[in-house]
Amino acid sequence: MTKRAGWGWVILGGLLSVVPIFAQTLNKQSLSGKYYFRHISLGTDGVNPGNLTDPRTLIGSITFDGSGGYTYIGQLLTGTNAAVSQTGKGIYTLDAGGFVSLDSPLRSGSKINARFAAEAVIGSSTESTDYTYDLFVAIPAPSGGAVFAGPYNCMSLEFPGGATANMRSTQFPLGPSSPGILQSFSVFGHAAGISLGSPLRQQVTGATYTMGADGLGSIGVGAADNAQLLSGARTLYLSASGNIVLGGSTSAGGHDIVIGVKAVSTATNGTWNATFWGAGLRVDSSAVAAYSGALAARGQGKLTWTKRFKALGAFDYTGVNSYALGADGNGTVDFTQVSLGASGKAFAGAAINTNDPGAYEIYFGVQVPALPGTGVFLNPLGVLDAASSAPAGNPISPGEFLALYGTGLAKSNQTAAPPYPLSLNGVSVLINNKPAPLYFVSPGQLNVLVPFATTGPTATIVVQNSGVPSNTVTVPVAATAPGIYTLDQSGSGGGAILHADYSLVNAAKPAIGGETVLIYLTGLGTVTPGLTDGTAGTVTTLYQSNADVVVYVGGQQATVLFKGLAPGYPGLYQLNVTLPQFLKASGDLPLAIQTPNAYHDQVDIPIL
């Protein structure tokens, strides 16, 4: 249980990596005016993911009053019934970071866990306790002068007749060739009832469109013999910026959603370089799921997601996906197709891949708002796990190491030695009004420990620099929020993992099946016995995490021998894990950690 002296400082060096500073805080007045929206909600029996017992879809306009209320008018589809006119109203909240809570237009009593940005409001009812799974997208409506210029790269998800028997995901371009006529285009996608879900192509010619100056229009695709993936008429909305199209069917049983982003040219992987809000809806052979979250892309072929998932229960997910983009912004993210568009400000994706024929998913993302501040300012989107750097929205947990970003947070740099003090260089941090231990302070970044007494569902964070308080930032709280340290301090790639002799697990000295390794992380929550905030574990007392922890390597479950605080370094947790005996597996394998409320899948381990 002892650790080599100095290794903790190598790991904690990862706390000092800098992420981009975001930019003006938000409030309810930031969300006002007319939007176009599409809301699709799948009600299930809670047992069989293929049994949609109560599908509902709504399309129309929604007007936010800037004071916390909204009204809408639209067309409602339920089951296989014809569309009926629907009006309604509700309330919403919008906090300083862009997090929105919105009364669901489709499910009375449910709240949509949404996100606000200039290009869209997106989200899902992740906190509802029923067996419904939804996706809500709203785009600002033009006040006039809308022009459908294209081309747009579009994704769709469809449940014909409100059932999964012939559900389909598609990807296709839209652009006019002459007034009222769309250019001929190819649809790429798959359908559950055709070719066992294998990807297909459908050629479309003679499709039509309309578009009014107010951004309200339509598209029509003929029902030709080969129209296996896309046919019929759909309402189509154009956003005020011209960057987004959104729509869907109002035909009986036409439960679908279409999302498109304006195409880019000369794109590279480096074009995808920002933080985005994201939301999605997915059905596969094992589950129906929906999520709200955020995605960080840094132009290097990897995406870091944080998602609040609703499947059979709600849980928090952080993970890394590989992506590759072509010059037109189209590409892949693991087993999904993706289109990056709108000058890199938005993306849309769909699950279409030979290796995952049973998955039907659509997801959409828009760049987060810029949030600058003056004086002592804590960025509302700048509260991150110090190990994983998972983007904003991932919860904090008791005992977790955090990185806080902002401006004017300290007068100069200073680092503390254990035990970590509650005040450092004139700086203190209150989390739920309780002082947090400080490891490092600087004008733009602080590294702090979450007090073990922190409970949720949310917590407030306030920085004080020489007695001057910052703005208050509210963040979600969970029992655990695991994040494994990485060798390159990026939050992904090779994990901070040691052999039992304390030598580094890397490509030069990989691990082998059946070996016991040591994994270093943060965010495993409270421990037994308890200890004072800011103090470290010792070699004589084992402080065990109270969380149930499961570790997977290459998809196989490992054996956890110890889970708790590492000796010598406050906030640093250690897992002693015996690896499974791998069958025909070698190279860099994914290493994931699961707790009752979270799933963390961002790092790899080299295996011989």
What pLDDT is recorded for position 256? 98
Per-residue model confidence (pLDDT) at position 19: 31
pLDDT number for residue 226: 61
Mean pLDDT across the chain: 93
Tell me, what's the pLDDT at 504? 97
Give pLDDT, residue 10.
36
* pLDDT at site 582: 83
Confidence tier at 585 by pLDDT (50, 70, 90): confident
Among the listed residues 382, 389, 377, 190, the one whose alpha carbon sits nearest the alpha carbon of residue 303: 389
Q: 101 — phi, psi (to 5°)? A: -115, 125
Q: pLDDT tens for residues 272-328? A: 999 999 999 999 988 999 999 999 999 999 999 999 999 878 899 999 999 999 999
Res 541 pLDDT > 50? yes
Contacts of 175 (CB under 8 A, 6+ apart): 149, 150, 151, 152, 182, 183, 185
Q: Which candidate, 153, 152, 93, places its Cα nearest to that of 123?
A: 93
Does residue 215 surpass a pLDDT of 80?
yes
Answer whether residue 13 shows pLDDT above 70.
Answer: no
Q: Tell me: pLDDT of 1 over 50.
A: no
Model's pTM, two decimal places?
Answer: 0.94
Task: Give the pLDDT confidence score for residue 516 in this predicted structure.
Answer: 98
The 10s digit of each residue's pLDDT in 32-42 is: 999 999 999 99
| CA 39/CA 109 separation, integer angstroms | 16
- 62-77 pLDDT, tens per residue? 999 999 999 999 999 9
**Residue among 454, 481, 318, 331 nearest 395 (CA):** 481
User: Which residue's structure tokens are 């300290």?
Assistant: 410
Q: If DSSP codes are grouped into helix, strand and coil, which group holds residue 386?
A: coil
Q: Note whether 482 and 593 are within 8 A (CB).
A: yes
What does the longest C-alpha to C-alpha distance in the chain come to? 79
Q: 161-184, pLDDT tens digit by residue?
A: 999 998 999 999 999 999 999 999
Tens-place pLDDT, residues 232-241: 999 999 999 9
Q: Which residues contact 199 (CB under 8 A, 6 or more apart)?
A: 188, 189, 190, 352, 353, 354, 357
pLDDT at site 290: 98
Is 23 a residue whose pLDDT tops 60?
no
Question: Above 80 in pLDDT, residue 12?
Answer: no
Residue 454 has pLDDT above 90, yes or no: yes
pLDDT confidence tier of residue 372, bands split at 50, 70 and 90: confident
The pLDDT assigned to 24 comes to 58
Q: pLDDT tens digits for 328-360?
A: 999 999 999 999 998 899 999 999 999 999 999
**pLDDT digits 0-9 by tens, 100-128:** 999 999 999 999 999 999 999 999 999 99
Looking at residues 51-69, what average pLDDT do you find?
A: 97
Q: Taking 90 as the threshold, does the pLDDT of residue 15 lie above it?
A: no
Give the pLDDT of residue 77: 98
Cα–Cα distance for residue pair 430/318, rounded to 1 Å: 26
Of the chain, the percentage scoring pLDDT greater than 70 comes to: 95
- 224: Cβ contacts below 8 Å, ≥ 6 apart: 231
Q: What is the pLDDT of residue 55?
A: 97
In terms of Cα–Cα distance, which of 506, 503, 466 is closest to 376? 466
Task: List, for residues 147-157, the tens digit of each pLDDT value.
Answer: 999 899 999 99
pLDDT mean over 414-421: 97
pLDDT of residue 343: 84
Min mean pLDDT across 4-8, 203-207, 350-354, 550-554 is at 4-8
309-313, 488-492, 518-522, 550-554: the lowest-pLDDT one? 309-313
Determine contact, residues 256/248, Cβ cutoff 8 Å.
yes
